Amino acid sequence: MIKCGGIRWSIHPLFIIVMLASAVTGYFAELLTLFILVLVHELGHVVVAKGFGWTIREVKLLPFGGVAEVDEAGGITAKEDAIVAIAGPLQNVWMGALAWGLGVAGIWDEAWAQYVGQANLMIALFNLLPIYPLDGGKLLQALLSYMMNYYRMLIWSARLSLLFSAMMLLGALFPLIGGEGIQLNLFIVGTFLLVSNWTYHRNIPYLFYRFLTHRSNQAEDVSEQGKTVSPIIVNGKQSVLSVAKLFNRERYHLVYVIGASSTGLQVLPEGRIVDGCLSGLNPHRAVSELFS
């Protein structure tokens, strides 16, 4: 592990396994090239994220890209998340084009230029698969954020990621039907993604509370900036947590509570709902109790 620019950079054990296998089989030059391509891919994410003011604590390099740990996770807009996600594959586009150009110009051996070009294509396309934490998985989350509330987005992105990870594993095992061996690299990566997304699915309650923590920190800024808010109409008997689960990542809300008192209708800013979840009191109590 090294620290550069305030970011810890480390190599995931999965990448180390691939390195050792490549060294044994005599493909070390190809592996070194792959490492450089993955590093530049991840630097694309880091540079754009830094441009948005994100605080990146650590980046773990994997054979197909990297996983970044950021302080703002849960408080990032879908637009920013999508731009940062696509920045990685775009690095592979220009590197692949450069390799092709060097091959055509005769500066690089044609076979080597073809290998580098294909490696970039493979990394870019693989990362665009709709599986979290791949770039495609983050793009999927950004898209779902415009279609549903944040909690449902977490649920559905996890479900779809698990589905596609399982399909990848089946694809790795498919050659067995014809009496051939499994596609080992695909099997290893598919297993890693399946386990990662199973953990992600189990951690959804924690991820949701992290989202609420960011909403709490942003509530004052929203009121000061006079941003437009979206209404949510709920029954006073609904729990505070169930109301919070209706919050959309891209919007800020005023909560209209029916039957909260004899007056029939009362209004709560979303900050009161968030505080009701984070205060340490029972988040399953009725939302009408926030008026007492």
Q: Are strands 65-70 and 230-235 parallel, antiparallel or unpaired?
A: unpaired
- Residue 120 sits in the same domain as residue 232: no
Position 25 scores a pLDDT of 61
248 is a domain residue: yes
Which has the closest alpha carbon to 102: 113, 114, 91? 113
Tell me if 258 is assigned to some domain.
Answer: yes
Q: How many CA atoms lie within 13 A of 27 on its CB side?
A: 13
End-to-end CA distance of the chain: 53
139 found inside a domain: no
Strand ordering across the sheet containing 253-258: 230-235, 253-258, 265-269
Q: Give the domain-ending residue among 128, 149, 168.
A: 128
- Predicted local confidence at residue 224, as pLDDT: 45
Structure tokens at 207: 């991820």
Domain contains 255: yes
Whether this model's pTM surpasses 0.75 = yes
pLDDT in tens, 244-271: 999 998 888 999 998 766 566 888 899 9
What residues in the chain have per-residue pLDDT under 50?
224
Whether 262 maps to a domain, the answer reads yes
Q: Is residue 278 part of a domain?
A: yes
What is the reported pLDDT for 238?
Answer: 92
The residues near 283 (Cβ < 8 Å, ≥ 6 apart) are 239, 240, 241, 244, 276, 277
Domain boundary among the residues 128, 160, 180 is at 128
Q: Establish if 123 belongs to a structural domain.
A: yes
pLDDT value for 219: 61
Decide if 115 is inside a domain: yes
Structural domain boundaries enclosing 48 = 2-128
Q: What pLDDT score does 228 carry?
A: 67
- CA 161 vs. chain centroid, Å, equals 11
CATH number of 283's domain? 3.90.1280.20
User: Which of 74, 104, 128 is at the close of a domain?
Assistant: 128
Look at the chain and report how many structural domains it folds into: 2
pLDDT at site 183: 81
